[in-house]
Amino acid sequence: MKTIEARGMHYRELNNLIRKYYQNGIKKFLLKGVNGQRYIGSGIKGSPHLTIEGTPGNDLAAFSSGISIAIKGNAQDAVGNTMNDGKIVIHGHAGDAVGHSMRGGRIYIKSYAGYRVGIHMKEYQDQIPVIIIGGKAGDFLGEYMAGGVIILLGLDVEKDEELLGSYCGTGMHGGVMYIRGNIPSYKLAKEVKTASTTEEDLDFLKDCLSDYCSIMNLDLNKVMAKPFTKLYPYNKRPYGKLYAY
């Protein structure tokens, strides 16, 4: 474990240090005093493990492929932007556009997340990205979603708070969302339909959530006790009939 005191350090220097130590064989890092540095973990080939104390800046692990990050704090916007593989655990809340265009890997958020989470997520062959949000999520959850899985738990949502923003699944044409609880239909975009979960869905959820719950110190049975609503697109080609051929 290599400890790096990141306070006041430019992101370029910070990433260079991680890269240099990683090439010298160090696999685990503790970054202390992180305060808004962008792109942490971007462009690092291989699969280092970073523990971040503080608040990492935008585009955390953008374009990354196999990195593992645990954040003891909150994260800002576009966590895991165009991420290919890896695992990001946020022991707090996250900003907007988490997992933008991600194609693989996992992002776990303990508390709430901002707008447009999982926008244009994709999947390809055995790469199926998963985002799990413990709290609530803002508007446009799963917008333009083309693949992958989003699970919204709403665990710390107060009675007078809403679990989900509006326009959920706008332009969705692939993948699936599982929302713990019921969703008023006005929150949903015209491209998505709802269903109750099947046995298969529940097995899959249990599988995803057991890892999440053990990391977040939650009781899996309690989390699974409340029914989930499944959201999926009506059509894999929502824009297929726009044109005059």
Partner 1 sequence: MNLNYTTPEFIILRDLQKCNNCGLCVKNCSFEAHYYSKHQRVESNSAKCVNCHYCVATCPKKALAIKKHPLEFRHNSYWTESAIKDIYKQASTGGILLTGMGTDREYPIYWDKILLNASQVTNPSIDPLREPMELRTFLGTKPGKLELDKTNNLSELMPPQLELQIPVVFAGMSFGSISYNAFKALAIAAHKAGIYFNTGEGGLHKDFYEFASHAIVQVASGRFGVNQEYLENSAAVEIKIGQGAKPGIGGHLPGKKVGEEVSKTRMIPLGSDAISPAPHHDIYSIEDLRQLIFAIKEATEYKKPVLVKIAAVHNVAAIASGIVRAGADIIVIDGFRAGTGAAPTRIRDNVGIPIELAIASVDERLKEEGIRKHVSIIASGGIRNSSDVVKAIALGADAVAIATAALIAMGCHMCQKCYTGKCNWGITTQDPELTKRLDPDKASQRLLNLLRAWSLEIKEMLGGMGINAIESLKGNRLMLRGVGLNETELKILGISHAGQ
Strands 85-90 and 65-72: parallel
Interaction of residue 74 with partner 1, rule CB under 8 A: no
Q: Which is nearer to partner 1, 42 or 134 (CB)?
A: 42
- When binding is defined by CB under 8 A, the residue of 29, 38, 89, 153 that contacts partner 1 is 38
Which tokens sit at 99?
Answer: 């997992």
Which tokens sit at 63?
Answer: 């374009």
- When binding is defined by CB under 8 A, the residue of 110, 122, 180, 187 that contacts partner 1 is 122
Let me know: does 132 contact 110? Beta carbons within 8 Å: no
Interaction of residue 170 with partner 1, rule CB under 8 A: no
Interface with partner 1 (CB under 8 A), residue total: 48
Give, as ranges, the residues between 135 and 164 that touch partner 1 (CB under 8 A): 143-144, 146-147
Closest CA to 41 of 7, 6, 92: 6
Closest CA to 98 of 3, 110, 225: 110
Which tokens sit at 87?
Answer: 């695992």
Interaction of residue 234 with partner 1, rule CB under 8 A: no
- With H, G, I as helix, E, B as strand and everything else as coil, classify residue 177: strand
Shortest Cβ 29–partner 1 spacing (Å): 17
Give residues in contact with partner 1 (CB under 8 A): 11-12, 15, 19, 38-39, 42-43, 45, 58-59, 62-65, 77-78, 81-82, 84, 97, 100-101, 103, 116, 119-120, 122-125, 127, 143-144, 146-147, 171, 173-174, 236-237, 239-245
